[in-house]
């Protein structure tokens, strides 16, 4: 049974202004593979997920999950209320 791996790769890549081509070259993949991963059409291997996470210097669970990610507004704002520092 193959379960979809959810990811925030496109969002993080855009935030960091990293092209698919640049990320692909850095992690040893084809740029189309990065697109397939971002769209959920291809689950990355553990090795690939770890290389991508290392490239962005983020824990793997910040980029990939077996459960859908909560919207960032839910994480930053608690149910519509601004989180206090």
Q: Which two structure tokens, joined as six digits, stand for 1?
A: 């049974």
d(CA 13, CA 85): 26
Tens-place pLDDT, residues 20-74: 999 999 999 999 999 999 999 999 999 999 999 999 999 999 999 999 888 777 7
- In this structure, what token pair is assigned to residue 81? 């209320």
Residue 39 lies in a domain: yes
- Please give the residue range of the domain that contains residue 65: 6-82
What is the domain-level CATH number for residue 75? 1.10.260.40
The two beta strands, 81-82 and 77-78, are: antiparallel
Centroid of chain to Cα 59: 10
Give the position of tokens 């983020």: 58
Do the domain assignments include residue 1? no
In this prediction, residue 83 carries a pLDDT of: 47
* In-domain check, residue 11: yes
| Ramachandran angles phi, psi of 84, nearest 5° | -90, 140
pTM of the model: 0.80
């Amino acid at each position: 049974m193959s379960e979809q791996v959810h990811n925030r790769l496109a969002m993080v890549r855009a935030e960091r202004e990293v092209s698919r081509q640049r990320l692909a070259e850095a992690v040893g993949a084809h740029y189309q593979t990065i697109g397939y991963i971002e769209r959920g059409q291809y689950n990355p291997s553990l090795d690939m997920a770890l290389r991508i996470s290392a490239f962005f210097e983020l824990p793997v669970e910040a980029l990939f999950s077996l459960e859908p990610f909560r919207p960032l507004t839910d994480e930053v704002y608690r149910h519509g209320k601004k989180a206090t520092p």
